[in-house]
Amino acid sequence: MLREEKIHITTEFIKLDALLKFACAVETGGEAKQVIQDGEVLVNGETCTMRGKKMRPGDTAELGGVRIVVA
């Protein structure tokens, strides 16, 4: 079962690697880079290997049983 966490942003977008760090899904930027490059992150239900992917409100990212919703 996925645990869902909402992250509220005040900008137009947040980059995927920064989102993972902000949501505490990873501890460091290096760890974020690695899990993204290894194809472990799903963005809107599809594997994403672009760490600079612009995440906008309504987008979701999944990693290790956690779904992060950008609000």
Burial of 42 (0-12, 13-18, 19+ CB in 10 A): middle
Q: What is the pTM of this model?
A: 0.92
- Token pair of 7 as six digits: 């992250």
Compute the C-alpha angle 48/3/46, nearest 5°. Answer: 20
CB 22 within 8 A of CB 7: yes
Q: What is the pLDDT along the chain (71 residues), one digit of tens a residue?
A: 778 999 999 999 999 999 999 999 999 999 999 999 999 999 999 999 999 999 999 999 999 999 999 99
Predicted local confidence at residue 7, as pLDDT: 95
Which strands make up the sheet holding 66-70, listed edge to edge?
3-7, 66-70, 60-63, 42-43, 46-47
